[in-house]
């Protein structure tokens, strides 16, 4: 399965809620939907990251693929860029260097075109999800449209990972 297929779950939720949330007229309820969206977003980020690592390892060797699948069974939210880099390092330093280079290239291009930082968006989604899921906090600053945009921008980080984790 392609790692991109995992995004379909959160994409469907976002598409459905995009028509609903603007009509609510309740800022508190809208803020709760921000939490809901970020939980779905981080879940699919995790699944996509696992898929990328497992497929890479399976292409190297079947036993390595099985080991990698077991190793990443409990990734559970530990996907911030710093932690992602540590996981990439397990496959070799050259992949970390490639990831850093690709992410920097994509971030600069995106910033120039959209005046937004994909790395910040990615980390924001993870932070908002953590606050909502583990502390019951709703974001005081993120709107629903900001959260959905950050989710889309965060996918670019995952695409960068996929581009460098090739055999």
- List pLDDT tens digits, range 48-104: 999 999 999 999 999 999 999 999 987 777 899 999 999 999 999 999 999 999 999
Residue 60 is predicted with a pLDDT of 93
Residue 137 has what pLDDT?
87
C-alpha 149/C-alpha 143 separation (Å) is 10
Confidence of residue 135 (pLDDT cuts 50, 70, 90): confident
pTM of the model: 0.94
* Closest to 100 in 3D by CA, of 7, 163, 55: 163
Q: Containing domain of residue 88, as a range?
A: 3-164
pLDDT of residue 154: 98
Mean pLDDT over 15-20 rounds to 94
Alpha-carbon distance of 18 to 63, in angstroms, equals 43
Total number of domains constituting the chain: 1
- First and final C-alpha spacing in the chain: 17
Q: Count Cβ atoms below 10 Å from residue 84 Cβ, excluding itself.
A: 23
Q: What are phi and psi of 140, to 5 degrees?
A: -85, -15
Are the CB atoms for 70 and 82 separated by under 8 Å?
no
Measured distance CA(52)–CA(38) in Å, rounded: 21
The pLDDT assigned to 1 comes to 75
Q: For the purposes of burial, counting CB atoms within 10 Å of the CB of 99, is it exposed (0-12), middle (13-18) or buried (19 or more)?
A: buried
- Average pLDDT in the chain: 94
- Judge contact between 57 and 67, C-beta under 8 A: yes
The pLDDT assigned to 79 comes to 96
CA–CA separation, 156 vs 160, rounded Å? 6
Find the range with the poorest average confidence among 2-11, 17-26, 63-72, 133-142: 133-142
Phi then psi dihedrals of residue 138, to 5 deg: -105, 145
Helix (H) or strand (E) holding 2: none
Contact 165, 92 (CB under 8 A): no
């Amino acid at each position: 399965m392609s790692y991109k297929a995992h995004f379909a779950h959160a994409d469907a939720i976002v598409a459905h809620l995009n028509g609903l949330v603007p009509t609510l007229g309740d800022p508190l309820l809208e803020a709760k939907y921000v939490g809901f969206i970020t939980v779905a977003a981080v879940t699919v980020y995790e699944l996509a990251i696992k898929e990328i690592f497992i497929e890479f390892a399976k292409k190297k060797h079947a036993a390595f693929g099985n080991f990698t699948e077991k190793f990443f069974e409990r990734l559970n939210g530990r996907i911030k860029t710093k932690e992602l880099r540590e996981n990439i390092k397990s496959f070799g330093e050259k992949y970390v260097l490639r990831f850093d280079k690709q992410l920097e290239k994509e971030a600069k291009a995106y910033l120039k075109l959209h005046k937004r930082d994909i790395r910040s968006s990615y980390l924001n989604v993870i932070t908002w999800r953590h606050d909502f899921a583990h502390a019951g906090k709703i974001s005081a600053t993120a709107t629903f449209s900001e959260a959905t945009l950050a989710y889309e921008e965060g996918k670019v980080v995952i695409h960068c990972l996929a581009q460098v984790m090739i055999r």
